[in-house]
Amino acid sequence: MSNKKMNMLTKSALFAALIYAATLTGAIAPIGGGAYIHIGDAMIYLAVVLLPTPYAVASAAVGAAFADLTLGSLIYVIPTIIVKALVVLTAKLLMRASKHILVQDILICLSGIVTIAGYYVSEVVLLIISGSQLEAALTTAAVDSVPFNAIQAAVSGLLFLIAGEAVRNIVNKKKNRTDESDVSQSDDMQD
């Protein structure tokens, strides 16, 4: 296995752990049925910025699914894997619409709509499986799922906007130092 691939796998595992930890520590409000509000999506958005697509998808799906397992929300593991993968794919697609970093970050936050819609659909399906009629499932999911997932998406988006700028500054400084040392080494070789 190449060093580059090992490096990406390591970063992905670290992001899965960050997503897991942010979801657990941010699980501030249980909302019934095993669902809860958390700030793990802010870490997912950072993974979108810092990792290639397949690695960001894996980190988001694994970290969020393990959080569901740990918090006793087993029924949401499969929906979470699907929803978080779609959040990453949507965010990656949206961020390509602009070269301006702040606009990219705002577009990434818009992928929170996928969280809201994805868990709404998941809730409807789970309610129907448990015996609810379609109309009742649609109404119940709208009341029980949408507002809380909207809060979760908004808070995670806000945290990402704050943290994303700081993280990008750190990454850019490190990259600039690496580029400068590469140039310096190149100059030394020419002497």
Q: What would the DSSP string read from start to end of 154-178? A: HHHHHHHHHHHHHHHHHHHHHHHHH
The answer to the question of residue 80 being in a domain is: yes
Is residue 109 classed exposed, middle or buried when 0-12, 13-18 and 19+ CB atoms within 10 A define those classes?
buried
C-alpha to C-alpha distance for 42 and 164, rounded to whole angstroms:
9
Is 113 domain-assigned?
yes
pLDDT tier at 27, thresholds 50, 70, 90: low
Range of the domain at 170: 3-185
- What are the structure tokens assigned to 149, written together? 């997932």
Tokens of 140: 């119940």
Confirm whether 191 is domain-assigned.
no
Check which CATH number belongs to the domain holding 157 and give it. Answer: 1.10.1760.20
Which of the pair, 65 or 33, is modelled with greater confidence? 65
Mean pLDDT to the nearest integer, 12-26: 92
Prediction pTM value = 0.84
Nearest to 127 by CA among 138, 117, 119, 118: 138
Q: What is the pLDDT of residues 119-166, one digit of tens each?
A: 999 999 999 999 999 999 999 988 888 988 898 899 899 999 988 878
Q: Yes or no: say if 112 and 92 are a contact pair by the CB < 8 Å rule.
A: no
| Position 21 pLDDT exceeds 70 | yes
With a CB cutoff of 8 Å and minimum separation 6, the contacts of 131 are none
Beta-strand (E) ranges in the chain? 29-32, 35-37
How far the first Cα of the chain sits from its last, in Å, is: 35
Average per-residue pLDDT for the chain? 87
pLDDT above 80 for 13: yes
Q: Is residue 137 part of a domain?
A: yes
- 175-179: average pLDDT: 69
pLDDT > 70: what percent of the chain? 86
DSSP helix/strand/coil, 29: strand
**Res 170: pLDDT:** 82
Looking at residue 176, its pLDDT comes to 73
Domain count, the chain: 1
Query: What is the C-alpha separation between 138 and 162, in angstroms, rounded?
Result: 35
Residue 190 in any domain: the answer is no
Q: Does some domain include residue 22?
A: yes
Average pLDDT value for residue range 79-94: 97
Label residue 88 by pLDDT band (50, 70, 90). very high
Give the residue, 189 or 99, on which the prediction is more confident.
Answer: 99
Is the predicted pLDDT of residue 3 greater than 60, yes or no?
yes
What pLDDT does 91 receive? 96
List all residues 6 or more positions away from 2 whose beta carbon is below 8 Å from its beta carbon: none
Q: Is residue 161 part of a domain?
A: yes
Residue 44 predicted with pLDDT over 70: yes
